[in-house]
Every structure is written in structure tokens, then in C-alpha cells.
């Protein structure tokens, strides 16, 4: 079945540090890939997505590239801010099956200190 | 504001109570979802509705009973829950349930505590 594996957390960084959060996936079809973010006390918000190989999703300074050869979708940001502190979820939506339901990773907590 | 509104935001209920969670989406979508988020576990899909018809029940215990009267509203009726059912329940919607690239939009969630 489909699965998403995220690096273990939590991650603590200083403001303006470079961020990489690893995500790899297993899917039987040709999935779309997503990063969702959950700020404290809130629901999940879509951060970015990519729907085919080599696509790059980007938003709010975050980027992730769909790498089919390594089945990865790592999230990066060049300079994090305190306001980026949140839980980040990698997810996929697979073409096989009737539903476009999302399969999520476990999430990773990012804390950015001033 | 994501266009998906959940009420109540917080709910405390006893194991013998009957309560309901409500979700409303203002996005013109046709598919709606219930997810469960527990501490230290991946989000779990519970139910999917497409055009008011249930298209997925992910082996959810019968003490959780969904209802979708129209494409804009989704309920989760709760009865005789267990303490381990305490979690954040997230409602979501998307254009439909078949588009691989469809974005799923989430509400802010309802925090449920079963005592």
C-alpha cells in the first residue's frame, strides 16, 4: 500500500537557518505530493504541492521538488523565521483507487528560536 | 479562513453521552472527509463522502456515525465513546473524491476529550 516516511523530529533551528525536512514515499501509481503545515491550535493548511515528476512546488519561501528516481519530496527553506514554527506533514494522493484520499506521514515539529 | 468551518472547536463528553460534530464548507466542493489526528500517530482517514454518498469507511467503529445531508454539510455523530477516542477530528473538503491533484482543504478541527 501507499506510505509516506518523514524524518524523525522534533527539529529546532535558529532564525535564518537553512531548513531541510526529508520525505520519501511508496506508491503503486503516479501520486501527487503535498506538504501541509499545522500551526499551533489550528487545522492543516496546504503549503505546496507537485503533481508530476520534476515539478517544483513553492510557497512562502518553501520549496519541494518531486523526485521520482529517489521517491522523495524534501521540503526546504533558505532562511526560517520564528513564525515558521509548526508541524509539517508530507502527504501523497494516489491515482490508483477511486478516491483522491491523502496518505500522511507522521509529521515533524519545527521550532525556530529567535 | 480555509472555507471549512467546524463546530464545536472543543468538546468534552462522558462515555455514555451522545454528541455531534458539525462541518460546513463554503467552497462549492462535492467531496467531504473526516480525519482523526491522535498524538504521535499519522492522520487517519475515517470517512469520505462524494456528492452526499459515502465512498469510504476506513474500518471505523460504529460508535462513530457520519451523516452528509448535502454536499456542504457533514456531521459526525458520537455515541458511547471510549477515552482512547480523544483526539482532534478534522473535517476536509475537495472538488470531488477522484481527482488525483485535487487539493484537500481542512477545517481547524474539533478537539474531543472523552472522560
Residue B83 has pLDDT above 90, yes or no: yes
Q: How confident is the model at residue A99, as a pLDDT? A: 52
Give the span between the Cα atoms of A70 and A13, in whole angstroms: 26
Which chain B residues are Cβ-neighbours of A35 within 8 angstroms? none
Q: Count the Cβ atoms, other than its own, within 10 Å of residue A6.
A: 22
pLDDT in tens, A61-101: 999 999 999 999 999 999 999 999 999 999 998 765 445 67
* Residue ranges with strand state E in B58-94: 64-70, 73-79, 87-94
**A93 vs B102: CB contact, 8 Å cut-off?**
yes
Q: How many Å apart are CA B101 and CA B99, to the nearest integer?
A: 6
The DSSP secondary-structure symbol of A72 reads B
Q: In the prediction, which pLDDT does B103 show?
A: 80
Mean pLDDT along residues B67-84: 95
In this complex, how many residue pairs, one in chain A and one in chain B, have their CB atoms less than 8 Å apart?
73
Q: How confident is the model at residue B101 (pLDDT cuts 50, 70, 90)?
A: low
| Residue B61 Cα, gap to closest chain A Cα (Å) | 19
User: Which of the 8 DSSP states describes residue A67?
Assistant: B
Could you give the percent of chain A with pLDDT greater than 70?
A: 95
For residue A10, say if its preceding peptide bond is cis, omega within 30 degrees of 0.
Answer: yes
Contact B55 A94 (CB under 8 A): no
- CB within 8 Å of A103: residues ≥ 6 apart: A2, A3, A4, A91, A92, A93, A94
Amino acid at each position: 500500500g501507499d506510505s509516506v516516511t518523514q524524518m524523525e523530529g522534533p527539529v529546532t533551528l535558529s532564525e535564518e537557518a537553512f531548513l531541510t525536512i526529508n520525505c520519501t514515499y511508496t506508491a503503486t501509481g503516479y501520486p501527487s505530493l503535498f506538504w501541509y503545515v499545522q500551526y499551533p491550535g489550528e487545522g492543516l493548511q496546504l503549503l505546496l504541492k507537485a503533481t508530476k515528476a520534476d515539478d517544483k512546488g513553492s510557497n512562502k519561501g518553501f520549496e519541494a521538488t518531486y523526485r521520482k528516481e529517489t521517491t522523495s519530496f524534501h521540503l526546504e527553506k533558505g532562511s526560517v523565521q520564528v513564525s515558521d514554527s509548526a508541524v509539517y506533514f508530507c502527504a501523497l494522493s494516489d491515482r490508483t483507487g477511486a478516491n483522491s484520499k491523502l496518505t500522511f506521514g507522521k509529521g515533524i515539529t519545527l521550532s525556530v528560536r529567535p | 479562513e480555509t472555507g471549512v468551518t467546524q463546530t464545536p472547536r472543543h468538546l468534552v463528553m462522558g462515555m455514555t453521552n451522545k454528541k455531534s460534530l458539525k462541518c460546513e464548507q463554503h467552497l462549492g466542493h462535492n467531496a467531504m472527509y473526516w480525519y482523526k489526528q491522535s498524538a504521535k500517530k499519522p492522520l487517519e482517514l475515517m470517512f469520505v463522502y462524494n456528492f452526499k454518498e459515502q465512498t469510504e469507511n476506513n474500518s471505523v467503529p460504529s460508535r462513530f456515525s457520519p451523516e452528509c445531508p448535502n454536499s456542504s454539510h457533514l456531521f459526525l455523530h458520537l455515541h458511547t465513546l471510549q477515552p482512547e477516542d480523544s483526539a482532534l477530528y478534522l473535517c476536509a473538503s475537495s472538488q470531488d473524491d477522484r481527482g488525483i491533484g485535487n487539493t484537500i482543504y481542512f477545517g481547524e478541527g474539533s478537539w474531543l476529550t472523552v472522560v
